[in-house]
Structure 1
Amino acid sequence: MDPTVKALITDPYGGYARLRAEAPAHRVLGPDGLPVWLVTRYPDVRQALADPRLALDKAHAAPGNYRGFALPPALDANLLNMDPPDHTRIRRLVSRAFTPRRITALHAPIERVAEQLLDRIEPLGRADLIADYAAPLPITVICDLLGVPEDARQDFRAWTDALIAPDPTRPEQARAAVKAMLGFFTGLIERKRTEPGDDLLSDLIAVRDEQDAGDRPDRLSEDELTSLAFLILFAGYENTVHLIGNAVLALLTHAEQLAALRAEPGLIDGAVEEFARFDGPAPLAIRRFAREDLAIGGVTVPKGETVLLALASANRDPEQFTDPDRLDLRRRENGHLALGHGIHYCLGAPLARMETALALTALLRRFPALALDVPAERLRHRPTLRARGLLELPVRY
């Protein structure tokens, strides 16, 4: 692995600071050994996130320039691999089912699940907040949203974990997870066609079948339907787990900010934005491919080459944020890019924000003596460039 990239896994914020100071974009070898352009400064990252000359569709990659994880078509036809007009069509269709009303209706269920999880661990005095709280909360919420039966949820968590950080020495695990998820979603969609429920997947199926009956040109294909369900589950679980875990760690290592939030719970909404900026779950935006030779920050990126936009670096850029390495729950003008920008802005952002706010509020109210149970330097993050999340978070209360 490129030493520059390896350093970003072990010391992301120090590494990005050095890269920002040196140049606006760097050509490095990515984790797969292929060259990528890494963009690090806030204005360049923000502009590139909305630049139509940077495509998500892998068809725009130069031959031999990209080696991504191979998904079957029924899971690969999702918004993370699409550009307009297909992206516009799919996003418009899924927005009909992913409504603010549906998200607001999840407020009470999220609170209930959080309290149930805390009830379970409270008598123990100690817990791993990733395994016991940050992970089961979003998997329960996203499965409720999609209408996934309770008896399948533990499998979903195992499958998703196998894809978040696949073991390079055991590639069969990730392949088995993909096969299992595809089989499950295919079967679940067929069951919900005959027995629909009050859930997002049933709504998406209704949109798909209504269009099919009318033979509309903007119809949702069966592969696109299955891929949407997969993306909603995967992204809705992974990002929220890491956002909650990273937020708790930030509070437990910044006593004055923890005290401020305890004293003024109304800070929580702004606090969630600061947690996302300070140590967000996705250090990089989804890879993009240059449709043509283009300049980013004065550096020319050739057509077909891969571009990685460093959200984590942009969110710590001192040219954009005052004292960016300081956690400040009262920070004003927090235009962070943790959830994206432009047409690819995270569709599930409102849900992730609400889950994180409710999870932190319940945790701090229930456990006034919450503290790390190991020294912070002993905590381990997932050894990957694409996700910023803790493997475990031992606490006592």
Structure 2
Amino acid sequence: TNRNRNGPIVKKQETKRKRKVEERISSEKRSRNGSKDKPAARDDDITNKNNNKEACLSGLAVGNRIAFDFGNDIYFGCIEECDTNNKVNAEWNWNVGFDDGERYKFDYKDMLSSVTLYDKLKKKEMNSLHSEENNSNIIKSNNNNNKEVCLSGLAVGDRIAFDFGNGIYFGCIEECDTNNKVNAEWNWNVSFDDGERYKFDYKDMSSALTLYEELKMKEMKDPGRKKKVRKIKDDFIIQKNYVLSTIPKEVKNHFLQVGFALWQKRYLPVLFLGPYDVPPGIIRDEWLAAFEKCDNSNVPRIVYWFGSSNLKDAFSIRAKRSCISLEEGKRKGLLEKARSASDSNQFNKAWRHLKVAMKKPRINRSPLEKFKEEYDCVGGHQPDRLLVELEAAANL
């Protein structure tokens, strides 16, 4: 889409860090500014209100931010993997990637301490920002140090809003460069929800964060917000139940089954998925739009390409005629077919991942960790998204 915006366009770039989780036992020592052990002591009084704690931790998702005090300082990171399927919460664990590159596996008590600390720090910062006489002016403080701390703490995935003159657009940070001691040299790559990308300087980002916090504060004061969130959830459940009830049984039987699909005239191993096995976004929306127009004999398939290095680009929608079952692929001789060296490497890598998936129960085959629906993102006291963001996205 063409927007009347000022500023340089930034092409989408590969994330600098590959998200490979290195499992480390909780007693492993960190080597930053002298050694420090992963904490041995936690406050026992955190054990109250177990139901609230479980609800809080079970709702965590990949990408959520946390903070942890390792004794010599507080470090920030984000969740890279969640395992909260066990009924016994003591068995829950999370893989956490810290901003300095270190990774740890957190147990239930670790994560509870992390979330508690992060929420406490966030609340303290927000109270500090909102304490000015004019509450609508969040960032424009007389104290430049507060602005620097706020902007230097921004991370990949954080949401922002920007007024381009013809309307307010929402997006998220894709890359941060705040290493320079001179904040005028700081910049951020921002991806907007309509697909456009821009490089923001310090002034741009200060304006963007100010606007987002103003909108957030206004929305959180709305007494009717909870009712609106509940309606979004109810509408989603109604739509989901209706869609699933109208999908032919033969199609639903393929969900979370393995097989093959055409990729540039070559069959590659895939996992077939349903519309609600993928998070809300482009793939689900495109499939639902196609499903409305097709007849029951030509329902398109959502496929996950085994062996994909970038999860964001690992999903596609394929016509029914471009997809075959595992058994049919074997009959076609796909496993013995001669290929070039590069094609063979790609196929064999995907085939290894397919065999691993086949050993799992169907319900556990999805490559995605637990993801949030839109009503999850806008719910709670510290929502990941604002209602006004959903409204803006619906109008794109």
So what's the TM-score if we normalise by structure 1?
A: 0.27
- Higher-RCO chain (CA-CA 8 Å, sequence separation at least 6): 1
Choose between structure 1 and 2: higher strand proportion.
2
Which one has a bigger Cα radius of gyration? 2
Choose between structure 1 and 2: higher helix proportion.
1
